């Protein structure tokens, strides 16, 4: 999507560092900070994402961060926060801060997840090559595939199923080759014999068992998604296309 300029500012009263950083003088306690939103960089089923900076004194600014805003009353907001607070891996997007704030536009309370910000998504990189009638180099496909699998293995070891693996939920830095899985709005810790909804995961990347309505599935649905992503990196388009992604 195009980056929409926003330039909004507000004071957040309860900004909590996920893992206190001594270089920022953090001890883990919530603090009052000014949040300056710069531009909108994404929108999903459960919230919007803006690029923003944070400061306590308007002298030292931290960021940029990718801040995901989700209505505080939804079940997904607490689940996503719990999962992000649990994870710590080089191929999983890092949560830096979290806080709630009441929007003056609609008077609703939103949870804000301030995460590290990478330049673009894998979808953007694939599209850039495709629009120029080019393909990702095999060495890049291998590098990205390895990092996705590495991050996925870490999640699955924790019992976490992402449930929406696709190129737009994978962040990349083309200059360094670093890749991170993001957007845990659909993620869940799967429990044995506990049913889960089958209407999950974007259609082009949805595993057969989900399409067939299974509510007893495993983290293997993420492996299917990874296969679809690898195929898309190789041919420049989704390998299973339909009317609705």
Which tens digit of pLDDT belongs to each residue from 180-220?
A: 999 999 999 999 889 999 999 999 999 999 999 999 999 99
Q: Which segments are annotated as binding site? A: 69
What is the rounded distance in angstroms from the CA atom of residue 70 to the CA atom of residue 75?
10
Whether pTM exceeds 0.85: yes
What is the CB neighbour count within 10 angstroms for residue 193? 5
At residue 245 the predicted structure's pLDDT band, cuts being 50, 70 and 90, is low
Q: What is the phi/psi pair of residue 162, to 5°?
A: -65, -45
pLDDT of res. 158: 97
pLDDT of res. 91: 98
Q: Name the β-bridge partners of 100.
A: 111
Is 183 among the residues known to form the active site?
no
SS3 content of the chain, % helix, strand, coil (to 5): 30, 30, 40
Q: Which segments are annotated as binding site for ATP? A: 69
Domain ranges of the chain: 9-116, 120-235
Which tens digit of pLDDT belongs to each residue from 22-79?
A: 667 777 888 889 999 888 887 766 678 999 999 988 888 989 999 999 888 765 558 8
Domains 9-116 and 120-235 share a fold: no
Say if CB 52 and CB 114 are below 8 A apart: yes
pLDDT of res. 150: 98
- Of the candidates 8, 14, 21, 164, the residue annotated as catalytic is 164
CATH class of 120-235: mainly alpha
Alpha helix locations (H) across 97-239? 122-131, 138-157, 208-211, 220-235
Architecture of the domain whose range is 9-116 = 2-Layer Sandwich (3.30)
């Amino acid at each position: 999507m195009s980056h929409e300029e926003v330039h909004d500012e507000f004071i957040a009263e309860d900004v909590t560092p996920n893992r206190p950083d001594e270089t920022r003088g953090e001890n883990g306690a919530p603090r009052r900070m000014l949040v300056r939103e710069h531009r909108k960089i994404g929108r999903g089923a459960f919230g919007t994402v803006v690029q923003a900076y944070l400061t306590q004194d308007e002298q030292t600014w931290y960021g940029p961060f990718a801040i995901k805003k989700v209505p505080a009353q939804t079940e997904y907001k607490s689940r996503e926060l719990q999962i992000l607070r649990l994870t710590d891996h080089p191929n999983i997007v890092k949560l830096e801060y979290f806080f709630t704030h009441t929007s003056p536009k609609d008077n609703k309370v939103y949870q804000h997840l301030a995460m590290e910000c990478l330049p673009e998504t894998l979808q953007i990189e694939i599209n850039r090559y495709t629009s120029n009638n080019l393909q990702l180099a095999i060495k890049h496909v291998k590098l990205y595939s390895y990092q996705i699998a590495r991050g996925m293995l870490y999640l699955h070891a924790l019992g976490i199923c992402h449930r929406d693996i696709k190129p737009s939920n994978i962040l990349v830095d083309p200059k360094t080759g670093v890749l991170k899985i993001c957007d845990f709005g659909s993620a869940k810790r799967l429990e044995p014999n506990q049913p889960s909804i089958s209407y999950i995961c974007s259609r082009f990347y949805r595993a057969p068992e989900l399409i067939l309505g299974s509510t007893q599935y495993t983290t293997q649905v993420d492996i299917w998604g990874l296969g679809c992503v690898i195929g898309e990196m190789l041919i420049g388009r989704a390998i299973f296309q339909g009317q609705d992604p």
